[in-house]
Amino acid sequence: MANRVWVFDLDGTLMNTLDLYEKPREKAYALITEILGDKSPALNEIKERHSKLDKELIPAIDPSTGKPYLYTKRRFPTSFVEIFKILCKESGLELSASDERRYYNQLYKIGLEAFKKERYKRKIKPQAFTVVRFLRRQEDILVILTKGDKGVQNDKKGALKEAGLLKFFKEFITVPDNKEKAFRDIMKRYPAESYYSIGDTYGWDILPAIKSGYFGIYIPSAANWMEIGKLKKIERQRSKIRSNRYESLIEIKEKYDYL
């Protein structure tokens, strides 16, 4: 029986992939502002309303598949097109059909830039190597459990492999939505004395893990778009007995003996 099993989240935890969305956002907002001209709302308003719309699309049905968008690759680019449509309507701007099509395509393409695989390798956090190697030396079991689009996450898996990090993990699991069942399945597959879940999204990585009997290691990141602005509330609600909050991955190594 293994001593400890560590289940790592990927985006925002082992990799800084969240900031890959920043550049496309800036580009798309700049384009929208340019097209709308004097009729454009302030940049901040576009930003806020776009972020809200992007979240609202998660459970919405993707007409091209008949299924919810969830965390698929199509959602983020679509959210630019959709916010543009809304803002055009509000501003009363009339575009020709061909301009409309051209702008939709341009915005969609900008959104897809968030998923360029060449950029993934540089996004692996340097401390990830230190911590993961350390845990393997303790003969603990390591698993990656990530929520997202299988194709997109597989590209990130490839980057981890190339960087020499993947070999330390027993499994790389991608789930389309809730992680709860996967947390329980991991417990069945790897009998151990204790289980830990490490992640930057309290509602996805920590709460369902605690429910399943894990100890949570919550490492919030400023770029986390799901929980931005909620950090104080989360901290008040967070179980201080069933979880710790760390500033960085490296604390797992530093505090290993006390965990």
9 makes contact with Mg ion (CB under 5 A): yes
Q: Kindly tell me which of 12 and 216 has the beta carbon lying closer to Mg ion.
A: 12
54 makes contact with Mg ion (CB under 5 A): no
* Residue number with the smallest Cβ distance to Mg ion: 12
Q: Which helix H or strand E contains 88, and what residues bound it?
A: helix 75-91
Q: Which of 11, 54, 82, 149 binds Mg ion (CB under 5 A)?
A: 11
Q: Is 105 exposed, middle or buried (0-12, 13-18, 19+ CB in 10 A)?
A: exposed
Backbone phi, then psi, for 128, in 5-degree steps?
-60, -40
Find residue 124's DSSP bridge partners.
Answer: 15
149 makes contact with Mg ion (CB under 5 A): no
Q: Kindly tell me which of 50 and 156 has the beta carbon lying closer to Mg ion.
A: 156
Strands (E), the chain: 2-8, 61-62, 67-68, 141-147, 171-175, 192-199, 215-218, 243-245
Count CA atoms within 13 Å of residue 220 on its CB side: 18
**Binding segment (CB under 5 A) for Mg ion, from list 7-15, 40-48, 151-159, 182-190:** 7-15
Q: Which of 6, 7, 12, 115 binds Mg ion (CB under 5 A)?
A: 12
Residue 126 three-state SS: helix
Site string for Mg ion, 181-210 (x = CB under 5 A): -------------------xx---------
Residue 67 vs residues 7, 63, 113, 150, 195: alpha-carbon distances, Å: 29, 7, 23, 15, 34
Site string for Mg ion, 155-184 (x = CB under 5 A): ------------------------------
* Pick from 3, 145, 57, 135: nearest CA to 157: 145
Name the CA radius of gyration of the chain, rounded.
20
Minimal distance in Å, beta carbon 246 to Mg ion?
Answer: 14
Q: Kindly tell me which of 25 and 179 has the beta carbon lying closer to Mg ion.
A: 179
Q: Kindly tell me which of 107 and 206 has the beta carbon lying closer to Mg ion.
A: 206
**Binding segment (CB under 5 A) for Mg ion, from list 4-12, 23-31, 125-133, 212-220:** 4-12
Contact residues: Mg ion, CB under 5 A: 9, 11-12, 200-201
